[in-house]
Structure 1
Amino acid sequence: LASAGSAMAWGAPVVSLVVLLTFGAVVALVLVQAVPPDSETVLNVLLGTLGAMATNVVGYWVGSSAGSARKDARLAARE
């Protein structure tokens, strides 16, 4: 997609950036501000969800998905 100039090539990087920035902002907010007792449960669920999403983002760019994409590119170059 990137070599074809498709705007869809920006999808994964943009979503990844949004997830990581949101996770960082929520963590910073929790560290700086006192959490009202009636909001603790919602905040814990939000942090858990964002933490899982951040883990998936890192896994995508660093882990097996990136390796698989490199392998596919190498195989395509051989043809």
Structure 2
Amino acid sequence: MFPEAEVADFLRTTELEPAERAALDQGVTVRRGQGYTLRVTAPAVHRRLLARCQPLDGGHGVPAVPAQRKARREYETRVSALTP
């Protein structure tokens, strides 16, 4: 599984706000190793989704899975590159 798809799978099991849920529902899994794409026009939605991915880093008695930690870091890098 590609990192972006791991983040999307995690978010599907998380309680999200309506705008976040709509963004996730509109995302698509891209073939040929490209992962998962969320086309969101509001960078704030990406930042809120990223904040909800924090458990993927482990902590609070939850073990971190290296692939999930990497997935969250890559998503963070992409979100950080968005203009405010």
Q: What is the TM-score of this pair, normalised by structure 1? A: 0.40
- Going by fraction, where is helix more abundant, 1 or 2? 1
Say which structure, 1 or 2, has more relative contact order (CA 8 Å, 6+ apart).
2
Q: What is the TM-score of this pair, normalised by structure 2? A: 0.38
Q: Radius of gyration: which is bigger?
A: 1
- Going by fraction, where is strand more abundant, 1 or 2? 2
